[in-house]
């Protein structure tokens, strides 16, 4: 999770990475990792999205459900 430096409000971004990101070491918090094929499938889909400026997805990515199944 990356804090955008805002003192109040929703100033955070969640990042899903498909590999090592040494530039984020010591600056961000890791919440978890992919532990099964379903999780890896989601990461591969997100990692393959078309991106625009600043490597952000051109279209919104929405997590509709989360948790243990």
Sorted by where each begins, the domain ranges of the chain are: 2-55
Mean pLDDT of 47-59: 85
What is the per-residue pLDDT across 2-17, written as a single tens digit (0 to 9) for each?
556 666 655 666 777 7
| pLDDT of 35 above 80 | no
| pLDDT of 29 above 80 | no
* DSSP annotation string for 14-48: ----SS--GGGTTTS-------SHHHHHHHHHHHT
pLDDT bin (cut points 50, 70, 90) of residue 22 is confident
Extract the tokens encoding 67. Answer: 């948790």
Looking up tokens 């999780």, which residue turns up? 39
Could you tell me the pTM of the whole model?
0.45
Q: In the chain, what is the greatest distance between 2 CA atoms, to the nearest angstrom?
A: 38
């Amino acid at each position: 999770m990356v804090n955008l430096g805002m003192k109040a409000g929703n100033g955070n971004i969640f990042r899903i990475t498909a590999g090592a990101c040494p530039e984020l070491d010591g600056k961000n918090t890791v919440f978890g990792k992919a532990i099964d094929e379903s999780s890896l499938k989601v990461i591969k889909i997100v990692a393959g999205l078309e991106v625009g400026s600043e490597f952000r997805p051109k279209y919104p990515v929405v997590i509709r459900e989360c948790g243990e199944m």
